[in-house]
C-alpha cells in the first residue's frame, strides 16, 4: 500500500480536530495489530516448545524400540512433527519485521515542510503552524495505515506457515491412525481365523 493516500483536496478539507480524531483511531488500530503480532509470537514460541518436546520424545522412542509397528508409527509421526518444527524454526521463530506505532519526529521536522507551510500561509506564522500541524497529523495517519498494513501482512505470513506446520502434524497423525486401524483389523481377522 502506498503511504500517500490522502489527496491534496482532503488535506485542504480536513480540520486539525478531525485529523486528531482520525489519527487516534488509526493509532488504536495499529496498536491492536502490534498486540496481535506480539501474542502470535508468544503462541508460536509455546507451540515450538511443545513440538520440540514431542520430537525429542519420539526420537528416543524410535532409537530404542525393537517393535517394527511402533517404529513405523513413531517414524511417521516424527517426520510430521520434524517438518512442523523445521517450519517453525525457519519461518516463524526468526526475527520478523514490524513497524512501530507513531511516526518519527525527524521525518516531520524538515525545512521543506516548514517552507511549504509558510508559503501557503502567506507569511502568517500562526496559520503556518496550523498548516504544518495539520500536515504532520495527516502524514501520521498515512504512516499508521502503512504500518498497520505491513504488520497485518507479517501476521498473515506467519499464520500461513503455522497452518502448513499444523497440516503436516494432522497428516502424520492421520497416517498413524490409519496404520493402527489396519493393524487392529489384521489382528481381528487373525483372531477370527483362529476360531474357525
Q: What's the chain look like in SS3?
A: CCCCCCCHHHHHHCCHHHHHHHHHHHHHHHHHHHHHHHHHHHHHHHHHHHHHHHHHHHHHHHHHCCCHHHHHHHHHHHHHHHHHHHHHHHHHCCCCCCCCCCCCHHHHCCHHHHHHHHHHCCCCHHHHHHHHHHHHHHHHHHHHHHHHHHHHHHHHHHHHHHHHHHHHHHHHHHHHHHHHHHHHHHHHHHHHHHHC
Within a domain: 89: yes
pLDDT of the residue at 95: 66
107 confidence band (pLDDT: 50, 70, 90): low
Within a domain: 92: yes
Within a domain: 69: yes
What pTM was computed for the model? 0.74
pLDDT digit string, tens, across residues 156-195: 988 898 999 999 999 999 999 999 899 889 988 888 888 8
Question: pLDDT above 70 covers what percent of the chain?
Answer: 95
Within a domain: 25: yes
Within a domain: 125: no
Within a domain: 122: no
pLDDT of the residue at 76: 93
17 confidence band (pLDDT: 50, 70, 90): very high
Mean pLDDT of the chain: 87
**Residues of the domain holding 15:** 8-103+137-195
Count of structural domains within the chain: 1
Within a domain: 116: no
Grid coordinates standing for 129?
503552524
Within a domain: 112: no
Amino acid at each position: 500500500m502506498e503511504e500517500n493516500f490522502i489527496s491534496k483536496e482532503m488535506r485542504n478539507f480536513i480540520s486539525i480536530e478531525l485529523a486528531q480524531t482520525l489519527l487516534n483511531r488509526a493509532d488504536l488500530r495499529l496498536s491492536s495489530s502490534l498486540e496481535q503480532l506480539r501474542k502470535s509470537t508468544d503462541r508460536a514460541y509455546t507451540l515450538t516448545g511443545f513440538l520440540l518436546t514431542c520430537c525429542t520424545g519420539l526420537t528416543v522412542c524410535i532409537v530404542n524400540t525393537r517393535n517394527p509397528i511402533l517404529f513405523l508409527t513413531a517414524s511417521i509421526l516424527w517426520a510430521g512433527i520434524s517438518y512442523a518444527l523445521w517450519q517453525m524454526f525457519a519461518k516463524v521463530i526468526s526475527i520478523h519485521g514490524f513497524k512501530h506505532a507513531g511516526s518519527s519526529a525527524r521525518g516531520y521536522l524538515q525545512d521543506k515542510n516548514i517552507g511549504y507551510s509558510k508559503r501557503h500561509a502567506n507569511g502568517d506564522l500562526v496559520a503556518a503552524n496550523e498548516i504544518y500541524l495539520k500536515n504532520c497529523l495527516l502524514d501520521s495517519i498515512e504512516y499508521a495505515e502503512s504500518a498497520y498494513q505491513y504488520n497485518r501482512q507479517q501476521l498473515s505470513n506467519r499464520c500461513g506457515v503455522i497452518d502448513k506446520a499444523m497440516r503436516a502434524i494432522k497428516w502424520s497423525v492421520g497416517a498413524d491412525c490409519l496404520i493402527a486401524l489396519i493393524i487392529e483389523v489384521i489382528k481381528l481377522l487373525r483372531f477370527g481365523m483362529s476360531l474357525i
